[in-house]
Structure 1
Amino acid sequence: MQNLIKELISQNYLKTPKIIEAFLKIKREDFTPEDFKKDAHLNIPLPIGHNQTISQPLTVAFMLELLQPKEGEKILDIGSGSGWTAVLLAYITGKKGRVCAVERIPELKEMGEKNASKYNFIKNGRIKFFCLDGSKGLPDEAPFDKIHVAAAAAQIPTALKDQLKIGGRLIMPVGDSSQELILLEKIGENQYKEKHYPGFVFVPLIKENK
């Protein structure tokens, strides 16, 4: 994984010292199913069951660099899956930060908790996992400094925009077969600035059937 991290730095995908440090300290293989641990150092998405994946390291690096998580922030991570990105975020935000990780599939929520517990981040309250419909966000814990969404939808759900602090950032893939990452910045009440980054593919955001 160290070689891959060096490559991501040389290609300018990883730039921020604290994000680089998190990639070095939080081992991707700790979040990868046994059958795929040997591939954890590769720059590819890997299956974690239930038709879901642990994201490609390049994509995670790109999204975190755009999101710019800071120490002490409260962050919502939607589509937490294996828990890797949630733990990276918890490392970056530090002892005074808090990460709320939302996963719709119960077995993956449990997997994320188990993986995160390897770093004691659940025990010390730096991460809490929820099994909920991510498209509705987490109103009881809002507002958030940053929101990271690792599953695609046709548009950014209004609930997520509402739960973002003014000055906060949200990163999310939007679209069906052809997707782009949208970086949204909340610049005022119901006022947003967007930047678009094409060329990504994510699993869909799962909603409750109601």
Structure 2
Amino acid sequence: MDQVTAAFDATPRRDFLPRAVRRRASYDGPLGIAAGQTNSQPRTVDDMLRLLDVRAGQRVLDVGAGSGWTTALLAHLVGPAGSVLGVELEPELVSFGSGNLARTDRPWASIRQAEPGVLGDADGAPYDRILVSAMADALPVALVDQLADDGVLVVPVDGTMLRVTNPGAVVTAHGRYRFVPLR
């Protein structure tokens, strides 16, 4: 079994959904969680994690942590030698996602409140990998600047999934996707 499949098996989506929608956890589509946000379609999350190519021991930033599911998946991938920081703008989701994440027993991962108008975590940079689970209008240069020298950023921009690799911020496109807006 490959690492991404193992992460999904170890991190059931159901555990990151509000009680009212848990019965729909196997649905391969986005599900509402709170504050107008969604828990992303599993197939999309799988695609993003494969593009991100997370390795054990890496430092990862999860922008738009929402329910905490992607943060927990990333934590499984990096293992206890790595670290994952999820940032989330919506206070209700910071609390919900942090509670969900705490039940995974992956203390090397956390979710904190994002500052309005500030993308990512420049003070904690550089990051080996950055995952963005919200749609940007343009490539967020502030996040590219937070990548390590050999880092990878996966971000949906104007309907297209982009993979940005360092050195040189090389951008490649990987299909069309829909997300809630990045704010």
Q: TM-score range by the shorter chain?
A: over 0.9
User: Are 1:153 and 2:139 counterparts?
Assistant: no
Once residues 82 and 148 of structure 1 are traced to their aligned partners in structure 2, the CA distance between those partners, rounded to angstroms, is 14
Q: Where does residue 180 of structure 1 map in the other structure?
A: 160
The 3-state SS of whatever aligns with 1:201 is: coil
The 8 Å contact of residues 135 and 160 in structure 1, kept in 2 or not, is answered as: no
Which gives a bigger RCO, structure 1 or 2 (Cα 8 Å, sep 6+)?
2
1:155-177 C-alpha deviation (Å, 9 max, x unpaired) = 122211111011110000001xx
| Structure 2: runs of 5+ lacking an equivalent | none
Cα deviation for residue 139 of structure 1 reads: 1.4
The 8 Å contact of residues 101 and 110 in structure 2, kept in 1 or not, is answered as: no
Cα deviation for residue 135 of structure 1 reads: 4.8
Write out the 4+ residue segments of structure 1 that deviate beyond 6 Å after TM superposition: none
User: Are 1:33 and 2:13 counterparts?
Assistant: no
Letter in 2 for 1:183: R
How do residues 99-178 of structure 1 correspond to structure 2 at under 5 angstroms?
A: 99-121=84-106, 124=107, 126-133=108-115, 135-175=118-158
- Pick the structure with greater CA Rg: 1
Cα deviation for residue 76 of structure 1 reads: 0.3
How do residues 10-29 of structure 1 correspond to structure 2 at under 5 angstroms?
A: 17-29=2-14
For the structure 1 residues 135 and 56, does the alpha-carbon distance in structure 2 shift closer, same or farther, using more than 3 Å as the test?
farther
Once residues 141 and 38 of structure 2 are traced to their aligned partners in structure 1, the CA distance between those partners, rounded to angstroms, is 26
Once residues 162 and 156 of structure 2 are traced to their aligned partners in structure 1, the CA distance between those partners, rounded to angstroms, is 6
TM-score normalised per structure 2: 0.96
Aligned residues: 182
The 8 Å contact of residues 135 and 205 in structure 1, kept in 2 or not, is answered as: no
Letter in 2 for 1:153: A
The 8 Å contact of residues 37 and 66 in structure 2, kept in 1 or not, is answered as: yes
TM-score normalised per structure 1: 0.84
Cα deviation for residue 136 of structure 1 reads: 2.2
| Structure 1: runs of 5+ lacking an equivalent | 1-15
Q: Where does residue 198 of structure 1 map in the other structure?
A: 175
Once residues 174 and 15 of structure 2 are traced to their aligned partners in structure 1, the CA distance between those partners, rounded to angstroms, is 29
The 3-state SS of whatever aligns with 1:136 is: coil
Once residues 198 and 41 of structure 1 are traced to their aligned partners in structure 2, the CA distance between those partners, rounded to angstroms, is 23
Over the aligned positions, Cα root-mean-square deviation in angstroms equals 1.2
Letter in 2 for 1:193: V
